């Protein structure tokens, strides 16, 4: 807490049961940890090339295909390095020559900037919008790939996934959206993410749900002259994924917790069930902010408001940083605004693991803080 941040002790009976509201890494359920602990002697510390681990990878890949209702010819590809590594892999393996990128926050912009420096690409077109808004594609037959984020984690903007062209690949960064928002697989060729948000696991792994067109593109580029570092070679990732393993050693705990969460979603009713949990929590936050008199949703257009990462602005007389600092001093963590956005706001992650009752308790705590400031 800064020097001038008031010291306030929130009454225990007001506090949420689980105190984690981060936008990733985010809440991991106790059940996931218990399942991992129970599997420890036979699973943790054993070879990732053997059946024990490969069975879990198989169940994870099948579970994801079922969760996202993937057509039979789509494939679930996994590899190490998280989304940031996947961006580089996508640049090497999925873009032929010309691509158009939507940039509407830190993460979508990072991918666009990384592509713009690739010496083997011809044209990288970047369409930007102000933070809190999202741009649209301007399709053109020269592009062989289009790229956007489903959810821009830095601003709390969620943009519906809609294919701009049938002739080009549609690459979607779903790092924070996947599992907490509906998507139609026909609208993407690659829907990629890490497990540290809705899937309540750790970072460092990537998953890419790929259409036949994307798989064909990987083979086509591989057959050409482009040098591809093996770690970023998606044909190698694909080959290993089909064998229920990764090219190099993965974090086994991450895979186990991830699989447990995917099974939980599927048992409870699938993507509509998990997305609805986030929707209910985010609806609560936006409605609370609008009624509060001291806060409002940062994203003006209702249709762009994220169901998983909510961003809330405060009036000038209340400091969002103070609110987050007071919450943190009371062990309620990770409501801080995205560090580089520079707004007077807080950001609350409401992935499916987060209970609505805890979100309600959190807004009660913020009301209490504002009353006592």
Ligand X SMILES: Cc1ncc(COP(=O)(O)O)c(C=O)c1O
Host H or E run for residue 147: strand 145-149
Alpha carbon 161 to its chain's center: 14
Residue 273 Cβ vs ligand X, minimum distance, rounded to whole Å: 23
Among 16, 164, 194, 250, binds ligand X (CB under 6 A): 194
Q: Which residues have CB under 8 Å from 163's CB, separation 6+?
A: 170, 186, 187, 188
Closest CA to 134 of 158, 99, 113, 112: 158
Q: Minimum CB separation from ligand X for residue 307, in Å? A: 14
Instruction: Give the residue with the Cβ less far from ligand X, 188 or 314.
Output: 188
Residues 104-143 that bind ligand X (CB under 6 A): 107
From residue 76 to residue 95, the character string flagging contacts with ligand X as x (rule: CB under 6 A) and all else as - is ------xxx-----------
173 in contact with ligand X (CB under 6 A):
yes
Tell me whether residue 151 or residue 240 sits nearer to ligand X (CB atom). 151
Chain positions 7 to 46 lying near ligand X, rule: CB under 6 A, are: 24
User: Which listed residue (32, 153, 245, 363) binds ligand X by CB under 6 A?
Assistant: 153
How many Å apart are CA 174 and CA 176, to the nearest integer? 6
Distance separating alpha carbons of residues 196 and 193, to the nearest angstrom: 9
- Tell me the C-alpha distance between 121 and 84, whole Å: 19
Residue 338 is given by DSSP the state: P
Dist CA 87 CA 236 (whole Å): 16
Q: Which of residues 307-326 bind ligand X (CB under 6 A)?
A: none
Report the residue closest to ligand X, judged by CB.
82
Q: Among positive and negative, which fits the CA dihedral 307, 309, 313, 319?
A: positive
Closest contact distance (angstroms) between CB of 106 and ligand X is 8
Q: How far is the CB of 176 from ligand X (least distance, A)?
A: 4
- CB under 6 A: which stretch of 9-17, 116-124, 168-176, 245-253 binds ligand X? 168-176
Residue 278 touching ligand X (CB under 6 A) = no
Q: Supply angle C-alpha 180, 185, 189, rounded to 5.
A: 115
Please identify which residue in the block is written with the tokens 């895979």. 255
Q: With CB under 6 A, what is the number of residues at the site for ligand X?
A: 12
Q: How far is the CB of 258 from ligand X (least distance, A)?
A: 13
Minimum CB separation from ligand X for residue 151, in Å?
A: 6
Q: Does 172 bind ligand X (CB under 6 A)?
A: no
Asked if residue 289 lies in contact with residue 305, where contact means CB atoms within 8 angstroms, the answer is no
Q: Record the tokens describing residue 199, joined without a space.
A: 């899937």
Q: Which of 179, 200, 203, 349 is the binder for ligand X (CB under 6 A)?
A: 203
For position 149 contacting ligand X by CB under 6 A, the verdict is yes
Out of 32, 93, 109, 175, which residue is the one contacting ligand X (CB under 6 A)? 175
164 binds ligand X, rule: CB under 6 A: no
Nearer to ligand X (CB atom), residue 153 or residue 211: 153
Alpha helices in the chain (DSSP H): 30-39, 51-67, 82-93, 106-116, 212-222, 234-242, 252-268, 271-292, 320-329, 356-372
| Distances 81 to 87, 210, 291 between C-alpha atoms, Å | 10, 18, 42
| Cα separation, 259 vs 192, whole angstroms | 16
Q: Which stretch binds ligand X (CB under 6 A): 159-167, 171-179, 260-268, 285-293?
A: 171-179
| Residue closer to ligand X, measured from CB, 164 or 194 | 194
Q: How far is the CB of 86 from ligand X (least distance, A)?
A: 8
Binding site for ligand X (CB under 6 A): 24, 82-84, 107, 149, 153, 173, 175-176, 194, 203
């Amino acid at each position: 807490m800064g020097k001038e941040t008031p010291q306030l002790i929130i009454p225990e009976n007001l506090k949420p049961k689980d105190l984690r509201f981060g936008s990733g890494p985010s809440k991991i359920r106790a059940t996931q940890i218990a399942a991992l602990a129970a599997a420890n002697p036979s699973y943790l510390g054993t070879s990732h090339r053997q059946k024990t681990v490969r069975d879990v990878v198989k169940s994870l890949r099948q579970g994801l295909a079922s969760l996202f209702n993937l057509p039979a010819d789509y494939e679930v590809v996994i590899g190490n390095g998280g989304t940031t590594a996947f961006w580089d892999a996508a640049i090497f393996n999925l873009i032929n020559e010309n691509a158009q990128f939507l940039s509407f926050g830190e993460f979508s912009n990072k991918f666009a900037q990384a592509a713009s420096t690739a010496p083997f690409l011809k044209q990288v077109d970047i369409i930007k919008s102000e933070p809190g808004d999202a741009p649209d594609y301007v399709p053109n037959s020269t592009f062989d790939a289009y790229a956007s984020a489903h959810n821009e984690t830095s601003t709390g903007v969620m943009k519906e996934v809609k294919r701009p062209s049938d002739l080009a690949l549609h690459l979607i960064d779903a790092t924070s959206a996947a599992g907490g928002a509906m998507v139609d697989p026909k609208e993407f060729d690659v829907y990629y993410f890490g497990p540290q948000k809705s899937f309540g696991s750790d970072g460092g792994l990537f998953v890419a749900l790929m259409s036949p067109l994307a798989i064909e593109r990987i083979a086509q580029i591989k057959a050409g002259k482009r040098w591809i570092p093996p770690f970023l070679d998606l044909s190698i990732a694909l080959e290993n994924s089909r064998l229920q393993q990764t090219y190099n050693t993965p974090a086994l705990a991450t895979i186990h917790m991830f699989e447990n969460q995917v099974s939980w979603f599927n048992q409870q009713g699938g993507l509509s069930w998990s997305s609805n949990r986030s929707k209910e929590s985010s609806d609560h936050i936006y409605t609370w902010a609008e009624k509060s008199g001291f806060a409002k949703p940062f994203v003006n257009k209702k249709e762009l408001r994220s169901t998983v990462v909510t961003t809330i602005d405060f009036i000038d007389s209340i400091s969002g940083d103070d609110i987050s600092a007071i919450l943190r001093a009371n062990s309620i963590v990770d409501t801080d605004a995205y560090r580089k956005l520079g707004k007077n706001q807080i950001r609350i992650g409401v992935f499916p693991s987060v209970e609505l009752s805890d979100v309600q308790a959190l807004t009660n705590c913020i009301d209490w803080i504002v009353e006592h400031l």
